[in-house]
Amino acid sequence: MTRPRLLMLAAVLVPLAAVAAALVSQHAFDMQPCPWCVLQRLLFVVMALVALPGLLVNQVGVRRASAAAVLTVSLCGVAAALWQHFVSASSTSCNLTLADRIISSLGLDESAPQVFAAYASCADAAVNMAGVPYAFWSLAVFVLLGLVAVTVWRQPR
């Protein structure tokens, strides 16, 4: 497997692993998600989906378009994680925020509540893991995947 395809494989698997880790945190350790947490889960799923063509189709144009889409979603994830930590975490209510409206308008909170329903306020969901705010772990994954996307996009033909 070529280096760009390995990187695109990472861009598919790492976001899915991030969602799996979030679900373990929620269901095994009772760390209930807020709307911004749930939005980041959605962005990770979308990222895996837009990375898939770059992995499966062995054409530079497709791989670059897929990498550009991964970068776009990762930038949205960076913004969501930063907003969650610096703005929403100090709020006792996340109702009717952008994240809440996106998730509810897509109906994901009703169709897949185990994954996409928010059960905590942003202030309650502001927890640390190994001394680092949970939102920063998500932020790190989004930044890493953005760098992966840039690396794939810049690969020579």
Q: Which domains does the chain have, with CATH numbers?
A: 3-153 (1.20.1550.10)
Reply yes or no on whether the pLDDT at 122 is more than 70.
yes
Q: Does residue 80 contact residue 43 with C-beta atoms inside 8 Å?
A: yes
Residue 126: pLDDT band (50, 70, 90) is confident
**Comparing 126 with 138, which gets the higher pLDDT?**
138
Q: Give the residue carrying structure tokens 């703005």.
A: 87
Instruction: Write the CB contacts of 70 (distance below 8 Å, at least 6 apart in sequence).
Output: 11, 47, 50, 51, 54, 145, 146, 148, 149, 152
Closest CA to 7 of 157, 149, 156: 149
pLDDT in tens, 71-106: 999 999 999 999 998 988 777 666 678 998 999 999
Range 45-55 average pLDDT: 98
